[in-house]
Amino acid sequence: MFEGWPILSLLIWLPIAGGVAVLVAGDGAPRLMRWLALVVSVVVFALSLSLWTGFDTSTAAMQFVEHVKWIPTFDVYYHLGVDGISVPLIVLTAFATPLVVIAGWEVIQYKTSQYMASFLIMEGIMIGVFSALDAILFYVFWEAMLIPMFLIIGIWGGANRIYATLKFFLYTFLGSVLMLVALIYLRYQSGSFELLSFYGLDMALSVQVLIFLAFLAAFAVKVPMWPVHTWLPDAHVEAPTGGSVILAAIMLKIGGYGFLRFSLPITPEASMSLDWLIIALSLIAVVYIGLVAMVQEDMKKLIAYSSIAHMGFVTLGFFVIFDIAMATGGDGEGALLALEGGAVQMISHGFISAAMFLCVGVLYDRMHTRLINDYGGVANRMPIFAAFFVLFAMANAGLPGTSGFVGEFMVILASFQANFWYAFFAGTTLVLGAAYTLWMIKRVVYGEVANQEVAELSDVNGREFLVLGILAVAVLALGLWPAPLIELMEPSLDNLMQMVVAGTQ
């Protein structure tokens, strides 16, 4: 339908242009601005689906490529393209943004148009990150992403928002500076800023290790991995609901995406020799963070910690491939299972964390507290909401039939092939994930009506029902039939794996 169109550019610049329009039009007509924001974000989502439908799954090559000179002095190109790794993430981004717009519909009364504009601009920038094939272009989008999120938390956030925004900004900024150094170094090795030209460079292990660590600094903060995770709970607690949704559903994935797009293919040998580090940090994320999540008293903090634990499966899946290849003689199936599992987990976590934060948002909008102890017996007053919340909690606990199961299942099955104990520690999530999620559900949703505020709660309205309903369908669809997503990603991930394996031999 859109053949020959620069779809990726449209996906990036349409929301940004829409955001600017909303911003310029200003506060005069917040109602109209909401509608404009919604229309733009829905159009972008529809466009993003054409990426999926028009995608050729028989090849791992970059598709929908746009390649234009940008800053010739520095040999920088406006180079966009997508493969099976980035398409689902772009669709996820375009999927989440309209939900955030709807979720903030009448909740955000303060500077409504700026709020909507921030999310639209954010959307364009994130799609830019996922489709940039030029290192500088990537870096520009990467850094630009911080600004709207900084504003979202800083303007619409909670009481302690300034502390949280600065922590967030400094953490992520410090990480990315090192990445920039690595990118510039790579440019001198390969002779261009073309991302694909960095692949397969012949570099000594010691050099690779330095580059790997520079990338790690950037990506580990974003994922986030233990011990550079402490910005996330603070950021989530202070962020408005929409900010938390985008942060958890999309921004964390950019760290995972970075490992796939940069670390593994550019520094395969270093990835192999330092895989123990990532695996250890991932397992710490599952066990340590899982235990920490259990004792949180603030629902948003709990879900934030749960996000870190779930992202542990992403990094585990990506870096356990070397051990699997070694243990199974490299027939590749187990390693591919791990890689796909990590990638599926990213998409699934996008749905589930968004849903969980939206559920907390629904409660927060009514009671203006996130503390578990202020609730109790919500199901008595909000049965429909309770049904959604329990469904998403089950997905968060990795119940089969929901998307949360797919990635964890694949990664656990695969990591068993590397080492019994990897699977053992990863598997503790079955107990820990259920414990922290369902214990929260028990205290918030079940029981007698705890107090007068709870007694006065009203069930979800049509708008909230719509948002939660869409996410429920997504969570169940991916859980019951992950095959289409797997097929979409397989050629690219398989190609990536071959490349990594070739690079280590």
Partner 1 sequence: METVYLAIPLAPLIGAIVVGLFGKTLGRSVSHWVAIAAVAVSTVLSFIVLREMLWGGGQPYNDTVYTWMVLGDLRFEVGFLIDRLTALMMVTVTSVSLMVHIYTIGYMHDDSGYQRFFSYINLFTFAMLMLVMANNFLQLFFGWEAVGLVSYLLIGFWYQKESAVFANLKAFLVNRVGDFGFLLGIAAVLMYFGSLDYQSVFQSAQASPDMTMSIWGDAEWSVITVACILLFIGAMGKSAQAPLHVWLPDSMEGPTPISALIHAATMVTAGIFMVARMSPLFELSETALSVVLVIGAFTAFFMGLIGLVQNDIKRVIAYSTLSQLGYMFVGLGASAYAAGIFHLMTHAFFKALLFLGSGAIIVALHHEQDMRRMGNLRKYLPITHITMLIGTLALIGTPFFSGYYSKDIIIEAVGHAHRAGATFAYWMVLLGVFVTALYSFRLYFMVFWGEERIDPHAKEHMSHLPRYVMPVMEWPLILLAIPSLVIAWFTAGPVLFGGYFGDAIFVAPANDTLAELAGHWHGPVAFGLHFWASPAFYLALAGFLTAWFLYIKQPGLLPAIQSRGRLLYEVLVRKYGFDWLWINLFGGVGRGLGRLLWRVGDVTLIDGLIVNGSARTVGRVAGVLRHLQSGYLFHYAFAMIIGLLVLLTIFIGQWRGWFA
Dihedral Cα 491, 492, 494, 497, nearest 10 deg: 170
Segment lying near partner 1 (by CB under 8 A), choices 180-188, 215-223, 251-259, 476-484: 476-484
Which residues, 253 to 312, sit near partner 1 by CB under 8 A? Answer: 288, 291-296
CB of 479 to partner 1, least distance (A): 10
By the rule CB under 8 A, 75 interacts with partner 1: no
By the rule CB under 8 A, 72 interacts with partner 1: yes
Contact pick of 29, 46, 68, 181 for partner 1 (by CB under 8 A): 68
User: Which of 252, 219, 244, 265 has the alpha carbon at shortest distance from 497?
Assistant: 265
Cα distance between residue 403 and residue 154, in whole Å = 32
CB of 18 to partner 1, least distance (A): 12
How crowded is the C-beta side of 476, counted as CA atoms within 13 Å? 8
What the block records as the tokens of 486 is 């797997």
Residue with smaller CB distance to partner 1, 101 or 379: 379
Residue with smaller CB distance to partner 1, 26 or 191: 26
Cα distance between residue 356 and residue 48, in whole Å = 24
CB of 383 to partner 1, least distance (A): 9
Which residues, 303 to 362, sit near partner 1 by CB under 8 A? Answer: 328, 332-334, 336-337, 340
Cα distance between residue 65 and residue 51, in whole Å = 12
By the rule CB under 8 A, 431 interacts with partner 1: yes
Please count the helices (runs of H) and the strands (runs of E) in the chain: 26, 2
Dihedral Cα 217, 219, 222, 223, nearest 10 deg: -120
Residue with smaller CB distance to partner 1, 121 or 266: 121
> How far are the Cα atoms of 115, 134, 152, 435 from residue 240, in angstroms, in the given order?
10, 33, 7, 26
Contact pick of 39, 110, 177, 227 for partner 1 (by CB under 8 A): 227
By the rule CB under 8 A, 192 interacts with partner 1: no
Which residues, 19 to 38, sit near partner 1 by CB under 8 A? Answer: 20, 23
- Work out the burial of residue 4: count CB atoms within 10 Å of its CB; fewer than 13 is exposed, 13-18 middle, 19 or more buried: exposed
User: Which of 209, 219, 501, 505 has the alpha carbon at shortest distance from 339?
Assistant: 501
Segment lying near partner 1 (by CB under 8 A), choices 85-93, 177-185, 254-262, 485-493: 485-493
The DSSP string of 154-171 is: HHH--TTHHHHHHHHHHH
Residue with smaller CB distance to partner 1, 78 or 185: 78
Q: How far is CA 84 from the centre of its chain?
A: 16
Contact pick of 37, 394, 474, 500 for partner 1 (by CB under 8 A): 394
By the rule CB under 8 A, 50 interacts with partner 1: no
Segment lying near partner 1 (by CB under 8 A), choices 71-79, 215-223, 249-257, 454-462: 71-79
> How far are the Cα atoms of 318, 397, 464 from residue 383, in angstroms, in the given order?
40, 21, 14
User: Which of 282, 342, 344 has the alpha carbon at shortest distance from 309?
Assistant: 282
CB of 225 to partner 1, least distance (A): 12
Cα distance between residue 204 and residue 363, in whole Å = 54
By the rule CB under 8 A, 428 interacts with partner 1: yes
CB of 160 to partner 1, least distance (A): 9
By the rule CB under 8 A, 159 interacts with partner 1: no
Residue with smaller CB distance to partner 1, 103 or 406: 406
By the rule CB under 8 A, 3 interacts with partner 1: no
CB of 266 to partner 1, least distance (A): 25
